[in-house]
Amino acid sequence: MVPGSITERPSAPAMLDAEPAADLLIRLENIHVSYELADGSRKKVLDGIDLDIRRGEFVSVIGRTGCGKSTLLRLVLGAETPTEGRVLADGREVVRPDRDRGYVPQRYSLFPDKSVIDNITFGPEVEQFSLLTRFTPGFYGRRREFRAEAMRQLRRMGLHESDANKYPDQLSGGMQQRVAIAQALVMKPKILLMDEAFSALDPGTRAGMQKLIRQVWRETQTTVLFVTHNIAEAIHLGTRIVVLAKDGAESSGSKVALDLTVPSDLDEEFAKIAGRVEAAAGHSRLDEDE
């Protein structure tokens, strides 16, 4: 088994053995989300969602287009408030986005006016230096530290030092998302929220990114909430799969249709068969991306 490859899967269920209460990171209680349309009628998006996310989980949220999975993510993020119910993070109610919950959107994930390295150092700089103290001499010393740390993150994401001073529009989609993940992780958030982060990438790049996020999750033990509409991706990446679907007519809201734990030996089985196929076909690597 190649370390760090998608075929290696640490035992996520083992984490569930720890005390449930202390382990609980995110709780969604009786969430209803609806809004008023132009003609006065109400459109329901989420209809009674209860969901717990524990530390260390990699939760894949999946569903058809329009099923409200992005809305769910935004609720946890704090960018949206529920019409009914509440969202708790570490026991406290979520009212706005903050540094505890990192975010990697599908597009516009980087600041276009900053270089790659500046994008990554943004968080640490902003946290420690306000607009005024930004111009004090102490800043420049700390900035060197921030940049060193940012370089480490860059390298971990598989990027090259020469990319550090490039601007986002000079990078490919995959590279941009790598930087975005680095940017979010450098703040050491409690949970990483990824909203269809790989959906805009081509299949080859996508496969590489899936490997990367798996590896990163393993190393940093961050909790991840991963929204996608790709079933294979959801199953491969997640330790747990939550499916949202409308319960009935188009105009009704979505509920949790399925919430299952992915068996930890899924990958072992997959790897076994894959290995046999590889051996039989005579290639050294079959799952290599281009």
Q: Cβ closer to other proteins: 6 or 182?
A: 182
Q: Cβ closer to other proteins: 169 or 250?
A: 169
Q: Cβ closer to other proteins: 159 or 191?
A: 191
Contact 246, 253 (CB under 8 A): yes
Contact 194, 225 (CB under 8 A): yes
Q: Min. distance of Cβ 190 from other proteins in angstroms? A: 11
The residue ranges that bind other proteins (CB under 8 A) are 77-79, 96-99, 101-103, 105, 107-109, 111-114, 122-123, 126-127, 130-131, 167-169, 183-184, 187, 189
| C-alpha span between 174 and 119 (Å, rounded) | 16
Q: Min. distance of Cβ 131 from other proteins in angstroms? A: 6
As given in the structure block, the two tokens for residue 158 are 């598989």
Q: Min. distance of Cβ 105 from other proteins in angstroms? A: 4
Q: Min. distance of Cβ 144 from other proteins in angstroms? A: 19
> Which residues are within 8 A (CB) of 51 and not within 5 positions of it... i.e. 6 or more apart?
26, 27, 28, 31, 72, 242, 256, 259
Three-state secondary-structure class, residue 178: helix
| C-alpha span between 159 and 209 (Å, rounded) | 12
Q: Cβ closer to other proteins: 159 or 184?
A: 184
